[in-house]
């Protein structure tokens, strides 16, 4: 009896094919029957593709001609089928984020599975068995630190309650120690149990990786992140999939790791925007972690000093409808104090001041005491724009609606959106004026400026001041970030200058002063999440100061601002996240914004802005026209607002015009259903001659940036 098998394969984006195709398999004496979840190879056109068996039927599908169904070319031997829960997770993600099952499934598997021949794969599996052997030989884990009372209370809750949990713990309150002990408890209780530990960006936190390995042993832990080679990724994946790796430590992609005995998921710094994938299926790994936990009865722990407002809202008291359990860890370990916050009113400073005199004096004092300072400026390069005062020329990018950034170190003008780079012109390209000048400041300039201002200051050992800059430019080369962070940890560096890269997660021990040089831009952004992001960034940056209790009594966080009375800074001053969150949530409730509503962004890219917008508006009209004929759809549309198409804030990138359309509803289900109805409408609109010039469209469900 032949098997009729639905198999998910990678189909081209936007193809009408839903991502599962039907194949046939005839079991024989030497060719056993195929089971659900198996990894197989199947022909598609002239190619041979990797696929995952999604469903098996006894009868040929009614709508297909039997003779047109092709045979499965082979099964990947030696690999256990993917667990049902994994397939359900993929299916849910595909559905929720409006992509094909095959695309999500293939993106969730290590790329080498697609490319390796049967022989090559067999070799990898052999190697894998060898490592797995080493794993079973290890005994016991290192003992954790004796917990503080608040850590102990949090851990006890996790042990006895179902969760999901949100640990709301100050920076340096010992959240990581709680995660590690929760993992340990789970792994010790069941010799098969596996745990998934997710972090925003592994490269930024090599320390955490070291801590996990020191605690559990290198053989127990595999990593999953985009910085790994394909061979490493396959090795890690096989370790997790076979169950021999007990811990997966990874970035957002790890939420899809195949883990047959998953029992615990930790999402560290759960507020971090990098949990949201920004291409392909635009999933939120944090939200999928919650879903996956429910699916597999695994406990989920989210943790942050500045939770996302969504998670904060979900962790309100259960009497008010909260679904997560909030665990409080307000105190820093070892009675360390949070930094004292000082706001410098830049209105009272001389014009064009970069570093106010009191801040400069404070930095100088720290250097003379042998302490470190950290200056945050969220803009890399020397200056965001180069400008001619004579004719008004500015360093626009010819391919984007954005300015090219002046990088003085290599004397280039670089577009941070499309990468277009040119040498800095000697004179104004428009009028020939030789005197073109930088406008605004980036980290390069701040570093240069500081070096001048601090040139006569000496460290306690009599040496000159050492300034280090860390940003995307300084860390391009492999290993650069690690060695730069090591210089900070060793105390070699006196002043660290950098972008948000330096604000996250690092456990710097001797920083006693943190300063935000110019955080005001974010205050007036049109994005309703901007204040939340700024507050989190500043709290996290401040959290790098005073982590050593011996010095923390004097640690300070400085904010230079033209708006010292702004709510964001007032809340920061009091380290009062709950008050800040309450006021933001109230504003959002009044405006009907998330978490009181659900959003999706429909984006179109086209040769012209008119076509991009026309395509989106036409799709909306067609959908509403359809609703007029269809009472069920009409009832759904009544619950959903579809806004007119508008240009994106950076409307042109690399000569592509971009428009977006917001779709919003108080009902997640109504929004989901409308998006599903919209899918075929978009396909038919694409074929309309007036929309010639459309390049692509994409849907972003629960977008983070509007
Ligand atoms: P968080 O993740 O909340 O920022 P960490 O877990 O990194 O905090 O802890 C901050 C510092 O305190 C680390 O250096 C850690 O080793 C130390 N620490 C955490 N828990 C304890 C404890 N119970 N006893 C002593 N030191 C601890
Ligand atoms: Zn000019
Ligand atoms: Zn550009």
What string of DSSP letters covers 51-62?
EEEEEEESS--T
Is 549 a pocket residue for ligand 1 (Cβ < 6 Å)?
Answer: no
Sorting pLDDT into bands at 50, 70 and 90, what band is 147?
Answer: very high
pLDDT > 70: what percent of the chain?
97
Is 171 a pocket residue for ligand 1 (Cβ < 6 Å)?
Answer: yes
Q: Measure 684 CA to ligand 3 centroid, in angstroms.
A: 32
* 706 part of a folded domain: no
Q: Measure 652 CA to ligand 3 centroid, in angstroms.
A: 8
Ligand nearest 212 Cα, by number?
1
Backbone angles phi, psi at 535, to 5 degrees: -60, -45
Is the pLDDT at 298 greater than 80? The verdict is yes
For the chain, percent helix, then strand, then coil, each to nearest 5?
Answer: 40, 25, 40
Query: Which residue has a Cα nearest atom 4 of ligand 1?
Result: 172
Structure tokens that stand for 167 in this block: 């640990």
Is 150 a pocket residue for ligand 1 (Cβ < 6 Å)?
Answer: no
Q: pLDDT tens for residues 456-470? A: 999 999 999 999 999
Domain boundary residue, one of 391, 410, 440: 440
Is 548 a pocket residue for ligand 1 (Cβ < 6 Å)?
Answer: no
Sign of torsion over alpha carbons 265, 271, 273, 278:
positive
Structure tokens that stand for 214 in this block: 């020191």
Query: Which residue has a Cα nearest atom 5 of ligand 1?
Result: 174
Is 236 a pocket residue for ligand 1 (Cβ < 6 Å)?
Answer: no
Q: What is the structure's pLDDT at 705?
A: 85
Is 175 a pocket residue for ligand 1 (Cβ < 6 Å)?
Answer: yes
pLDDT > 90: what percent of the chain?
75
Do 447 and 568 share a structural domain?
yes
Q: Measure 428 CA to ligand 2 centroid, in angstroms.
A: 5
Ligand nearest 650 Cα, by number?
3
Whole-number Å distance between alpha carbons of 290 and 305 = 19
Q: What is the structure's pLDDT at 202?
A: 77
Is the pLDDT at 522 greater than 60? The verdict is yes
* 289 part of a folded domain: yes
Q: Measure 239 CA to ligand 3 centroid, in angstroms.
A: 42
Q: What is the structure's pLDDT at 549?
A: 60
Sorting pLDDT into bands at 50, 70 and 90, what band is 551?
Answer: low
Lowest-pLDDT choice from 93-107, 122-136, 651-665:
122-136
Q: What is the CATH number of the domain that holds 52?
A: 3.40.1440.60
Q: pLDDT tens for residues 172-190? A: 899 999 999 999 999 999 9
Q: What is the structure's pLDDT at 550?
A: 66
Contact 618, 692 (CB under 8 A): no
Q: Name the CA dihedral angle for 670, 86, 111, 129, rounded to a multiple of 10 degrees.
A: 170
Is 147 a pocket residue for ligand 1 (Cβ < 6 Å)?
Answer: yes
> Per the structure, how many domains does the chain have?
5
Ligand nearest 388 Cα, by number?
2
Is 339 a pocket residue for ligand 1 (Cβ < 6 Å)?
Answer: no
* 318 part of a folded domain: yes
Is 177 a pocket residue for ligand 1 (Cβ < 6 Å)?
Answer: yes
Contact 573, 338 (CB under 8 A): no
**Alpha-carbon separation of residue 16 from 20, 71, 349, 680 (angstroms):** 11, 22, 61, 8
Is 499 a pocket residue for ligand 1 (Cβ < 6 Å)?
Answer: no
Q: Which residue has the tokens 């504003």?
A: 587
Is 575 a pocket residue for ligand 1 (Cβ < 6 Å)?
Answer: no
Do 503 and 357 share a structural domain?
yes
Do 154 and 204 share a structural domain?
yes
* 36 part of a folded domain: yes
Is 169 a pocket residue for ligand 1 (Cβ < 6 Å)?
Answer: yes
Query: Which residue has a Cα nearest atom 20 of ligand 1?
Result: 174
The DSSP letter of residue 65 is -
For residue 467, give its domain range: 336-380+442-590
Do 687 and 565 share a structural domain?
no
Is the pLDDT at 206 greater than 80? The verdict is no
Contact 28, 63 (CB under 8 A): no
Query: Which residue has a Cα nearest atom 9 of ligand 1?
Result: 174
Contact 472, 405 (CB under 8 A): no
Contact 203, 481 (CB under 8 A): yes
Closest by alpha carbon to 40, among 5, 85, 83, 91?
5
CB under 8 Å, gap of 24 or more: what pairs does 445-449 form?
Answer: 445/382, 445/383, 445/408, 446/354, 446/375, 446/377, 446/497, 446/517, 447/497, 448/382, 448/408, 449/354, 449/355
Closest by alpha carbon to 569, among 523, 607, 528?
523
Q: What is the structure's pLDDT at 227?
A: 87
* 132 part of a folded domain: no
Q: Measure 658 CA to ligand 3 centroid, in angstroms.
A: 14
Mean pLDDT of the chain: 91
Ion ligand 3 neighbours (CB, 5 A) are 397, 399-400, 415, 417-418, 420
Over range 134-163, report the average pLDDT: 84
Is 505 a pocket residue for ligand 1 (Cβ < 6 Å)?
Answer: no
Query: Which residue has a Cα nearest atom 15 of ligand 1?
Result: 174
Lowest-pLDDT choice from 201-205, 326-330, 359-363, 488-492:
201-205
Over range 12-31, report the average pLDDT: 76
More confident residue, 260 or 163: 260
Please tell me the number of Cα atoms within 13 Å of 262 on its side-chain side.
30
More confident residue, 208 or 64: 208
Is 552 a pocket residue for ligand 1 (Cβ < 6 Å)?
Answer: no
Q: What is the structure's pLDDT at 35?
A: 92
Contact 1, 46 (CB under 8 A): no
Q: Measure 396 CA to ligand 3 centroid, in angstroms.
A: 8
More confident residue, 452 or 11: 452
Q: Measure 7 CA to ligand 3 centroid, in angstroms.
A: 41
Domain boundary residue, one of 590, 619, 654: 590
Do 81 and 19 share a structural domain?
yes
Q: Measure 253 CA to ligand 3 centroid, in angstroms.
A: 29
Query: Which residue has a Cα nearest atom 6 of ligand 1?
Result: 174
Shortest-distance atom of ligand 1 to CA 178:
6
Instruction: Write down the H helix ranges in 297-345.
Output: 309-314
Closest by alpha carbon to 518, among 355, 350, 349?
355
Ligand nearest 422 Cα, by number?
3
Is the pLDDT at 16 greater than 60? The verdict is no
Q: Measure 542 CA to ligand 3 centroid, in angstroms.
A: 34
Q: What is the CATH number of the domain that holds 496?
A: 3.40.50.300
Is the pLDDT at 335 greater than 70? The verdict is no
Is 214 a pocket residue for ligand 1 (Cβ < 6 Å)?
Answer: no
Q: pLDDT tens for residues 227-286? A: 899 999 999 999 999 999 999 999 999 999 999 999 999 999 999 999 999 988 999 999
Do 478 and 389 share a structural domain?
no
Is 304 a pocket residue for ligand 1 (Cβ < 6 Å)?
Answer: no
Do 252 and 151 share a structural domain?
yes
* 274 part of a folded domain: yes
Q: Name the CA dihedral angle for 664, 670, 673, 675, rounded to a multiple of 10 degrees.
A: 0
Query: Which residue has a Cα nearest atom 14 of ligand 1?
Result: 507
Is 333 a pocket residue for ligand 1 (Cβ < 6 Å)?
Answer: yes
Do 634 and 567 share a structural domain?
no
Domain boundary residue, one of 54, 85, 108: 108
CB under 8 Å, gap of 24 or more: what pairs does 288-293 form?
Answer: 288/89, 288/92, 288/93, 288/255, 288/256, 289/196, 289/198, 289/255, 289/265, 290/164, 291/89, 291/92, 292/85, 292/89, 292/255, 292/262, 292/265, 293/163, 293/164, 293/265
Over range 367-390, report the average pLDDT: 94
Q: Measure 335 CA to ligand 1 centroid, in angstroms.
A: 11
* 458 part of a folded domain: yes
Query: Which residue has a Cα nearest atom 17 of ligand 1?
Result: 174
Is the pLDDT at 18 greater than 70? The verdict is no
Q: What is the structure's pLDDT at 508?
A: 83
Do 210 and 87 share a structural domain?
no
Q: Measure 434 CA to ligand 2 centroid, in angstroms.
A: 8
Do 467 and 423 share a structural domain?
no
Is the pLDDT at 130 greater than 80? The verdict is no
Query: Which residue has a Cα nearest atom 18 of ligand 1?
Result: 174
Do 302 and 191 share a structural domain?
yes
Ligand nearest 394 Cα, by number?
2
Q: What is the structure's pLDDT at 545?
A: 83
Is the pLDDT at 136 greater than 60? The verdict is no
Ligand nearest 398 Cα, by number?
3
Do 362 and 305 share a structural domain?
no
For ligand 1, pick from 143, 148, 176, 336 the residue to mutate: most ligand atoms within 8 Å of CB: 176
Contact 671, 663 (CB under 8 A): yes
Q: Measure 389 CA to ligand 2 centroid, in angstroms.
A: 7
Q: Measure 527 CA to ligand 3 centroid, in angstroms.
A: 22
Sign of torsion over alpha carbons 605, 608, 611, 617:
positive
Sorting pLDDT into bands at 50, 70 and 90, what band is 131?
Answer: confident
Q: Measure 449 CA to ligand 2 centroid, in angstroms.
A: 26
* 513 part of a folded domain: yes
């Amino acid at each position: 009896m032949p098997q009729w098998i639905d198999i998910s394969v990678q189909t081209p984006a936007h193809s009408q094919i839903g991502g599962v195709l039907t194949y046939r398999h005839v079991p024989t004496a030497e060719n056993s029957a195929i089971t659900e979840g198996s990894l197989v190879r199947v022909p598609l056109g002239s190619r041979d593709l990797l696929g995952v068996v999604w469903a098996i039927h006894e009868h040929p599908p009614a709508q297909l001609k039997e003779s047109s169904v092709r045979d499965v070319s082979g099964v990947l031997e030696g690999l256990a089928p993917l667990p049902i829960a994994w397939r359900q997770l993929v299916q849910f993600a595909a559905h929720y984020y409006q992509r094909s099952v095959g695309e999500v499934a293939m993106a969730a598997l290590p790329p080498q599975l697609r490319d390796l021949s049967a022989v090559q794969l067999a070799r990898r599996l052999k190697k894998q068995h060898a490592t797995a052997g080493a794993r079973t030989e290890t005994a016991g884990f290192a003992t954790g630190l004796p917990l503080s009372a608040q850590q102990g209370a949090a851990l006890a809750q996790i042990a006895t309650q179902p969760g999901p949990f949100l640990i709301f713990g100050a920076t340096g309150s010992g959240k990581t120690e709680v995660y590690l002990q929760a993992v340990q408890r789970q792994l010790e209780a069941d010799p098969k149990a596996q745990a998934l530990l997710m972090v925003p960006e592994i490269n930024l936190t090599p320390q955490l990786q070291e801590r996990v390995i020191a605690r559990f042993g290198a053989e127990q832990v595999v990593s999953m992140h985009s910085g790994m080679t394909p061979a490493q990724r396959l090795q890690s994946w096989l370790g997790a999939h076979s169950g021999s790796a007990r811990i997966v430590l990874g970035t957002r992609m790890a939420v899809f790791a195949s883990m047959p005995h998953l029992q615990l998921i930790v999402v560290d710094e759960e507020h971090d925007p990098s949990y949201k994938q920004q291409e392909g299926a635009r999933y939120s790994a944090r939200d999928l972690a919650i879903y996956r936990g429910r699916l597999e009865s695994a406990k989920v722990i989210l943790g942050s000093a500045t939770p996302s407002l969504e998670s904060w809202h979900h962790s309100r008291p259960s009497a008010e409808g909260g679904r997560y359990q909030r665990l409080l860890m307000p105190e820093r370990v070892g009675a360390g104090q949070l930094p004292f916050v000082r706001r410098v009113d830049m209105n009272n400073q001389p014009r064009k001041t970069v570093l106010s005199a009191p801040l400069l004096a404070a930095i100088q004092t720290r250097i003379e005491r042998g302490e470190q300072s950290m200056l945050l400026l969220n803009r890399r390069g020397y200056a965001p724009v180069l400008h001619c005062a004579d004719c008004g020329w500015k360093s626009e990018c010819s391919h984007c609606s954005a300015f090219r950034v002046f990088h003085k170190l290599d004397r280039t003008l670089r577009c941070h959106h499309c990468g277009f780079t040119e040498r800095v012109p000697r004179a104004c390209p428009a009028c020939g004026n030789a005197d073109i000048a930088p406008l605004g400041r980036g980290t390069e300039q701040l570093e240069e400026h500081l070096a001048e201002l601090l040139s006569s200051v000496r460290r306690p050992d009599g040496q000159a001041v050492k300034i280090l800059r860390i940003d995307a430019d300084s860390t391009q080369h492999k290993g650069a970030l690690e060695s730069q962070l090591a210089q900070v940890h060793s105390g070699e560096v006196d002043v660290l200058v950098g972008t948000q890269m330096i604000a996250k997660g690092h456990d710097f021990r001797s920083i006693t002063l943190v300063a935000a040089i110019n955080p005001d831009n974010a205050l007036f952004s049109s994005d309703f999440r901007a204040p939340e992001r700024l507050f989190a960034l500043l709290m996290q940056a401040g959290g790098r100061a005073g982590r050593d209790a011996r010095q923390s009594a004097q640690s300070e966080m400085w904010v230079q601002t033209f708006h010292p009375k702004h709510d964001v800074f007032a809340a920061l001053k009091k380290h009062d996240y709950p008050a800040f969150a309450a006021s933001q949530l109230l504003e959002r409730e009044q405006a009907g914004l998330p978490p009181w509503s659900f959003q999706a962004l429909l984006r179109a890219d086209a040769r012209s802005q008119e076509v991009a917008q026309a395509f989106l508006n036409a799709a909306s009209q067609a959908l509403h026209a359809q609703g007029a004929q269809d009472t069920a759809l009409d009832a759904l549309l009544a619950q959903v607002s579809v806004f007119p198409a508008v240009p994106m804030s950076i409307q042109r990138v690399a000569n592509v015009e971009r428009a977006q359309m917001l779709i919003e509803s108080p009902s997640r289900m109504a929004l989901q259903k409308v998006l599903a109805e919209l899918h075929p409408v978009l396909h038919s609109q694409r074929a309309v001659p007036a929309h010639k010039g459309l390049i692509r469209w994409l849907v972003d469900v629960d977008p983070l940036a509007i």
